[in-house]
Structure 1
């Protein structure tokens, strides 16, 4: 183990000086930073050390390289969830429509190999599986199939999902810490098409969502929407 008083490698010292200048406002997006030659003279290091510091800052997205001109502070990228986590009941009501759930099942199971991998648990661990169709007015808007780790939300099996959505319930008992989203367009199976009241050949938009709370996976949901009744959007600010 290194001694607490050991000086950091020189390339780290160079990187920290640039990052500190960004934090203090001394450097801003679009500003040119010192060249390799200037860093060599300023810090008394080799060109290889200067190159490594600039290269690692570029790889991290902090700097950009302009051929024949030098290295510059990169423009900030939009940061945030592209798809907002919203309770579907609130989403429907915000449009002035009535919301109605149809709870098809909510059962206790033992995790098989697939569900254990999705929930990052062991095979045989207690889990819950719920299947619900969410309606906007009288039109099916979303089929939700959700796996939940019983140890993370033991009361899930007894929850009344005609009064509260799974999203709402889990937000209370296992506050959201991390989310993983994936979205894809697919052709639905006949059973899914029937539950969503769809015509043959209509595509669906499928979002898979895995959530974490208190350092562990809590749930894995497959949210299926008729593509002609649902769209995903996002609003975020970008740096000027």
Structure 2
């Protein structure tokens, strides 16, 4: 026997179904609490809980004195994993495409060389790629790669497979480091991401190692309204014996 859903879950499902059906799209204002109470025949407390949970789950935004609005769809990445952007987009049902802006050999500037524990001027491969989901830019990737780890890097077509996919295929990436910051997009970055200069962005600095050598260093930039980051942990507190 299937038990009926709690009232607040019924309200949530009603709102989500209308969003999925396209009755409401990103940025649209939803009916007020009073309007939902009257239309659905439930209590104000029930509606308030439903809206609160939809907000916590990232489906809607609630603005004091203004009401509730449909949130933009965000791609969710995993802080603890090395996952290709194409796989992340496929997970949310979007088609990946890419525009390669730069693919070259360079002499490393001092700050980049330090990421590899190399001297300035060391030989590195450099690329800049805009990744898109259903044609909308979601990630600006700037990456430097150790040529000894991936000697054929410059011969790859990164509109067919991502740099991450390629590196995972040719190098045993045994260790990774992520540094996450909130930044504003520069004028050039905003243009590449089809965004307004200063748009709040999530920046991930990622280094990966093959053995004891740094294989690549990447700066990944995501518009804040198109991406969110999660982390998964296991055995949390396992080492705490108190």
TM-score (norm 1): 0.63
Tell me which residue corresponds to 2:116.
119
SS of the residue 1:232 aligns to: strand
Tell me which residue corresponds to 2:44.
none
Q: Deviations over 1:181-235 (max 9, x none)?
A: 1001011110001111112442111000011002100110000000011000123
Instruction: Check conservation: 2:79, 2:178, Cα contact below 8 A.
Output: no
Tell me which residue corresponds to 2:221.
224
Tell me the CA shift for residue 96 of structure 1: 1.1
| Counterpart check, 1:194 vs 2:183 | no
For the residues of structure 2 that align with 1:239 and 1:201, how far apart are their CA atoms? 39
Instruction: Check conservation: 1:83, 1:232, Cα contact below 8 A.
Output: no
SS of the residue 1:231 aligns to: strand
For the residues of structure 2 that align with 1:195 and 1:82, how far apart are their CA atoms? 24
The residue correspondences of 1:1-240 to structure 2 (distance < 5 A) are 82-237=79-234, 238=236
Instruction: Check conservation: 1:134, 1:142, Cα contact below 8 A.
Output: yes
Q: Deviations over 1:1-26 (max 9, x none)?
A: xxxxxxxxxxxxxxxxxxxxxxxxxx
TM-score (norm 2): 0.63
Bigger-Rg structure (1/2)? 1
User: Unaligned 5+ residue runs, structure 2?
Assistant: 1-77
User: Unaligned 5+ residue runs, structure 1?
Assistant: 1-80
Q: Deviations over 1:158-182 (max 9, x none)?
A: 1111111110111111111111110
For the residues of structure 2 that align with 1:107 and 1:175, how far apart are their CA atoms? 23
For the residues of structure 2 that align with 1:235 and 1:183, how far apart are their CA atoms? 15
SS of the residue 2:90 aligns to: helix
SS of the residue 2:229 aligns to: coil
Instruction: Check conservation: 2:125, 2:147, Cα contact below 8 A.
Output: yes
For the residues of structure 2 that align with 1:161 and 1:147, how far apart are their CA atoms? 14
SS of the residue 1:183 aligns to: strand
